[in-house]
Amino acid sequence: MHDGQQTLIEGPQGAIEAFVYQASCDRPTMILCHPHPSFGGSCHDRILRLIGETLRSLGCGLVYFNFAGIGASEGHTRNAQQGAEDLQAVQVFVNQTFDCPYSLVGYSFGAAAVLTAACEAESEPALLVAPVLSLCAPDVLNQQPALARAVVGDQDVYSPVSGLVSYFGESSVEVIEGADHFFNGYDGLLVEAARRWVSGL
């Protein structure tokens, strides 16, 4: 469970439950987006927590939130477009609440929501962990976010390396050999990838 400050944010379908960890503005605040709600995804996801704790140890503020229909967040989430709309509401909250730059972190479905939001507005730096491009609408994939970096395992059947390289470009994709979509046994390499990404912001 999160011990950050629980906050309810006004979203497109009602309240969005968020957990906020404030920090100084020496580092950007991170908005973290979780895997698909239909498959048990929530802001308490193991991978998201692992990355969040790493970024917090480096001085970043954090905003975890639940997509609609999860936890205390109202409504339902059926696709990445709805996830993107929730994310955009959280971005408005962060802009109004913190006098700091922010960046985005998405895992699996959460990464698809980040990509979908990025195609509709000026994009922020983003770390996309195992992004499932098949969850994005075709018009989203016609655009390429300039500030995104993807991390994926070479055994990931949901997020094939070849598709990510084709979309993002080889220099923007970091491949963890042996890892699948859930990174079991590869926490250390994933943490190091997150550290390298934030050091470049």
Per-residue pLDDT 10s for the chain (201 aa) are 688 999 999 999 999 999 999 988 889 999 999 999 999 999 999 999 999 999 999 999 999 999 999 999 999 999 999 999 999 999 999 999 988 899 999 999 999 999 999 987 777 999 999 999 999 999 999 988 879 999 999 999 999 999 999 999 999 999 999 999 999 999 999 999 999 999 998
Give me the domain span that covers residue 161.
Answer: 5-199
H or E element in which residue 51 lies: helix 46-57
Strands across the sheet containing 173-176: 5-11, 14-21, 62-65, 29-33, 102-107, 126-129, 148-153, 173-176
Instruction: List the CATH number of the domain containing 90.
Output: 3.40.50.1820
Task: Render the burial of 96-107: b for 16+ CB within 10 Å, e for the rest.
Answer: eebebebbbbbb
Number of domains in the chain: 1
Q: What is the pLDDT of residues 105-146, one digit of tens each?
A: 999 999 999 999 998 777 799 999 999 999 999 999 998 887
Distance CA 180, CA 188 (A): 14
